[in-house]
Amino acid sequence: MTFLRRLTRWETGLLVMIGIVLAVGSATSPGLLSTYNLQTIAINNSVLACLAFGVAPVIIAADIDISVASTLALCGVFMAKLWGGGMDIWLAALLAVGLGGVLGLINGVFVVLLDLPALAVTLGTMGAYTGVAFLILKGAAIVDFPTGLLNLGSGTIAGTQIELSTVVVVGLLLVLTFVVHVSPYGRALFAVGANRQAALFSGVAVTRTRLIAFVIAGMFAALAAVFYLGNYDTAQANIASDQLLPAITAVILGGVSAYGGTGTIPGVALAVILLALLQSALGLAGVSGQAQTIAVGALLIFAIGSGAAIQALPGLGRIARRRVPDSEPTASP
Amino acid sequence: MSVSSSPSPRRSAVRALTRHNEIGLIGLIVLVTVVAEAAVPAFRASGNDTQILDNAALVMIVAVGEALVITARQIDLSVAATLGLAAYLVGSAVGHIGFAGPVVGVAMALALGAVLGFGNGILIERIRMPAIIATLATLSIYGGLQVVVTHGSQLYSSQLPNWLGNIISTSWIGLSPLVWAAIVCVVVVGLIARFTRWGRDIYAIGSNPEAASYLGLRTGRRTYEVFAVCGALAGLAGLLYAGQYGNVDATAGSGFELTAIAAAVIGGVSLFGGSGSPLGAALGALLLTEIENILAVLKISIFAQQTLQGTAIVVAVAGYSLLSRRLNRPVRRSLRVEAGQSRPAEPSEPVSSEPTEIAEQGT
């Protein structure tokens, strides 16, 4: 019931904001809702969606993973290199997803088994993974991937206007939503994120739950790499390094508390849509790419600020205030 | 809980050494220097040592501020954008100031940085955003502002006044003014953190925010202050950045936040808060820069450097944590007997006598 209430609260707010952006955006620039523009938005944001979906479980478990963009780059390079060596592209993609899982596991081993701060560890592995990606390619780029992959990245389903990548991303969204919100693992995840100690004493396999969250993040980063190669048709060691902050922004904007224990995967998906539409609307209105980051930052503050304001309303206030000190000790900054 | 009393004198000596990990860091820096002097001819080239110090200076200044914030169990990701914004704004303003240029310039840089840092403080303390999210947002906002104010143009060294443009080419007693500025920052902030009540407040808040507020420490006010100080130092670093590189554009300073955090972490500042020192962070910055320099003169590709830097961070964090846990093990066991099953605070160094001192003063 609480879950449903939260869903209606935060996600409704996101839907309202999406509505506002759509209304204002299409009023000022009619091109926003054209099929072509929507398709562009869809294919350009499948990477962001995958990254954000992957990071969400980690943040729900009150950890953080800032190495996902580097994981993406390394997996993309690895996949391209395997393909360049004559391997079938889909087998290479599968192996890359496996590698993503391993890289996530490495993060998890350091953070969970050695009990180190997640931010410091993933800051380190972020540099390390990007560096390894560079060492593999030595600064070169691999291009001209087979049509099958390009179709996945930027093609439409035959006979319709729907992007193939969007369908796959929605499929991934459903799978992850099931894992996080329906399966026993998901319940363990929220328990661990809300209060690690209490979860441990309640018999939740805390170590395993956190490890799996990191593995999920790594695998989704690798899936994002597959989409990246399909969309941009190039593999380089520095790809997508600018996607880290938008991904974490999307997760937080989607209603996942940075202290862990709350949030929903559909909320994250809505946040990705909101960010994508906002970016496109601002672009059409002539706002330069980097200046758009102001809007993204302001939106983040607005969302968190208004969320806090709603919680501070009479009646809800006591619950909200009680929650904060409870969850603080488990939050690793 | 006096956890500082230890079973054997030898162990306490080891513990003292690790508690003051600055000594270990200095040892490591000396060791790296000696090995590099012996093994790498290019490292001995004249001017390389001053180059290392010049390159380390900015990282030191930012890392010292970051160390304070991390010690207070917060984090500031926005320092890079603060640095870039100050580099452009103050850098272009000082060119028009004729009288007392350096003083006014430094004051402007500190003030601008403090205001931006105060903005972070408001988000964190007033809106109650987690520091990592708030400063992530301000990193976007301040970075965007940097793009807006530069609007595609650049600041060139010819637009800078002489005192700023020559900041690394002049030499005061063998070191450039840039390095002296860094040394002053490190010493001043280090002394404040170590010997003033304000500094002890920061450690107390970082060790246990709740206990600190029950003790009557003004945690909210300290949060504002610590972010303002961190921002001010980043702003100062921005002004010096303009002087050092003579060329400021919309991307100036990007990536600095991670370097600064890495330096602090390598310098032994615990991300769990409450332990570490500004001096350690500065030494971490120096060590990081020195290793970078050695790799560069060895002509090892910049990408391998990135790998090594990342690995160094993980190794440093793991090393500090495992070392302090190992040394604290007997203490922890004795605590457990006293306090039942409750786990002692964090794997990082337990607060020794500080809380009692503060309690005496605070009440």
- Nearest in space to B33 (alpha carbons), one of B339, B303, B294, B345: B294
Question: Considering the domain boundaries, does residue B1 fall inside one?
Answer: no
Each residue's pLDDT tens digit, A229-278: 998 888 888 887 788 888 988 998 888 888 888 889 999 999 999 999 98
Question: Considering the domain boundaries, does residue B2 fall inside one?
Answer: no
Query: What residues contact A193, with CB distance under 8 A and at least 6 apart?
Result: A60, A61, A62, A260, A261, A262, A330
Phi/psi for B297 (5° steps) reads: -70, -20
Q: Say yes or no for a CB contact (<8 Å) between B314 and A110.
A: yes
Q: Does the beta carbon of A124 lie under 8 angstroms from any beta carbon of chain B?
A: yes
Q: Is the pLDDT of residue A329 over 80?
A: no
- Nearest in space to A300 (alpha carbons), one of B251, B132, B137: B137
Which of B313, B341, B348 has the highest number of chain A CBs within 10 A, making it the mutation to test binding with A? B313
Q: Is the pLDDT of residue A332 over 80?
A: no
* pLDDT score at B16: 61
Each residue's pLDDT tens digit, B68-103: 999 999 999 899 999 999 988 888 888 777 666 788
Q: Say yes or no for a CB contact (<8 Å) between A288 and B132.
A: no
* DSSP letter string, A95-127: HHHHHHHHHHHHHHIIIIITT--HHHHHHHHHH
The answer to whether residues B82 and B236 touch, using CB atoms and an 8 Å cutoff, is no
Q: Is the pLDDT of residue B340 over 60?
A: no
Chain B residue with CA closest to A251: the answer is B133
Q: Say yes or no for a CB contact (<8 Å) between A301 and B134.
A: yes
Nearest to A294 among B74, B145, B313 (CB): B145
Question: Considering the domain boundaries, does residue B230 fall inside one?
Answer: yes
pLDDT, chain A, mean: 85
Q: Is the pLDDT of residue A142 over 90?
A: no
Contacts A252 to B, Cβ<8 Å = 133, 136
Q: Is the pLDDT of residue B191 over 90?
A: yes
Nearest to B311 among A128, A293, A305 (CB): A128
* pLDDT score at B352: 43
Which stretch of DSSP H or E encloses residue B185? helix B177-195
Output the CA–CA distances (angstroms, integers) from residue B167 to B20, B47, B55, B86, B253, in the order listed.
Answer: 33, 16, 12, 17, 18
Q: Does the beta carbon of A64 lie under 8 angstroms from any beta carbon of chain B?
A: yes
Question: Considering the domain boundaries, does residue B175 fall inside one?
Answer: yes
Q: Does the beta carbon of A117 lie under 8 angstroms from any beta carbon of chain B?
A: yes
Rounded CA separation B112/A260 (Å): 34
Percent of chain B at pLDDT exceeding 90? 25
Rounded CA separation A239/A302 (Å): 30
Nearest to B318 among A110, A292, A328 (CB): A110
Q: Does the beta carbon of A317 lie under 8 angstroms from any beta carbon of chain B?
A: no
Interface of A with B in 238-257 (CB under 8 A): 245, 248-249, 252
Within a 10 A sphere around the Cβ of B246, how many other Cβ atoms? 18
Contacts B309 to A, Cβ<8 Å = 127, 131
Chain A residue with CA closest to B309: the answer is A127
Strand pairing report for A234-235 and A142-143: antiparallel
Question: Considering the domain boundaries, does residue B28 fall inside one?
Answer: yes
Q: Say yes or no for a CB contact (<8 Å) between A304 and B133.
A: yes
Query: CATH number of the domain that B170 lies in?
Result: 1.10.3470
Nearest to B307 among A116, A131, A138 (CB): A131
Q: Does the beta carbon of A308 lie under 8 angstroms from any beta carbon of chain B?
A: yes
Q: Does the beta carbon of A10 lie under 8 angstroms from any beta carbon of chain B?
A: no
Tell me the CB-side half-sphere exposure of residue B288, using CA atoms within 13 A.
34
Q: Say yes or no for a CB contact (<8 Å) between A297 and B133.
A: no
Query: How close, in Å, is residue B34 to chain A by CA atoms?
Result: 26
Scan for tokens 């391993």, then name that residue: A102
Q: Say yes or no for a CB contact (<8 Å) between B130 and A135.
A: no
* pLDDT score at A237: 82
User: Mean pLDDT throughout A47-71?
Assistant: 93
Q: Say yes or no for a CB contact (<8 Å) between A333 and B75.
A: yes
Rounded CA separation B256/B260 (Å): 6
CATH pick for A2-29+41-327 out of 1.20.1560, 1.10.3470, 2.40.128, 1.10.1060: 1.10.3470
Rounded CA separation B85/B79 (Å): 10
Rounded CA separation A250/A263 (Å): 12
Nearest to A297 among B144, B313, B314 (CB): B144
Within a 10 A sphere around the Cβ of A38, how many other Cβ atoms? 17
Q: Report pTM.
A: 0.81
Query: How close, in Å, is residue A300 to chain B by CA atoms?
Result: 6
User: Mean pLDDT throughout A290-304?
Assistant: 80
Query: How close, in Å, is residue B114 to chain A by CA atoms?
Result: 20
* DSSP letter string, A119-159: HHHHHHHHHHHHHHHHHHHTT--EE---HHHHHHHHPBPTT
**What DSSP character marks residue B313?**
H
* pLDDT score at A10: 80
Question: Considering the domain boundaries, does residue B3 fall inside one?
Answer: no
Helices B219-245, B101-121: inter-axial angle, 10-degree rounding: 140
The answer to whether residues A268 and A115 touch, using CB atoms and an 8 Å cutoff, is no
Which of B85, B140, B261, B313 has the highest number of chain A CBs within 10 A, making it the mutation to test binding with A? B140
Q: Say yes or no for a CB contact (<8 Å) between A123 and B313.
A: yes
Query: How close, in Å, is residue B49 to chain A by CA atoms?
Result: 26
Question: Considering the domain boundaries, does residue B181 fall inside one?
Answer: yes
Higher pLDDT among residues B156 and B113, named by residue = B113
**Domains of chain B: total:** 1
**E strands present in B304-350:** none
* pLDDT score at B281: 92
**E strands present in chain A:** 142-143, 234-235
Q: What is the dihedral angle through the alpha carbons of B261, B266, B267, B268, rounded to the nearest 10 degrees?
A: 100
* pLDDT score at A5: 61
Nearest to A291 among B147, B272, B317 (CB): B147
Nearest to A300 among B133, B302, B314 (CB): B133
Chain A residue with CA closest to B254: the answer is A242
Chain B residue with CA closest to A306: the answer is B127
Query: How close, in Å, is residue B166 to chain A by CA atoms?
Result: 32
Within a 10 A sphere around the Cβ of A83, how many other Cβ atoms? 22
Spell out the domain ranges in chain A: 2-29+41-327
* pLDDT score at A171: 94
What is the domain range of residue B342? 9-362
The answer to whether residues B3 and B352 touch, using CB atoms and an 8 Å cutoff, is yes
User: Mean pLDDT throughout B214-225?
Assistant: 90
Each residue's pLDDT tens digit, A154-173: 888 877 788 888 999 999 99
Query: What residues contact B338, with CB distance under 8 A and at least 6 apart?
Result: none
Q: Say yes or no for a CB contact (<8 Å) between A308 and B140.
A: no
> For chains A and B, what is the number of CB pairs under 8 angstroms?
170
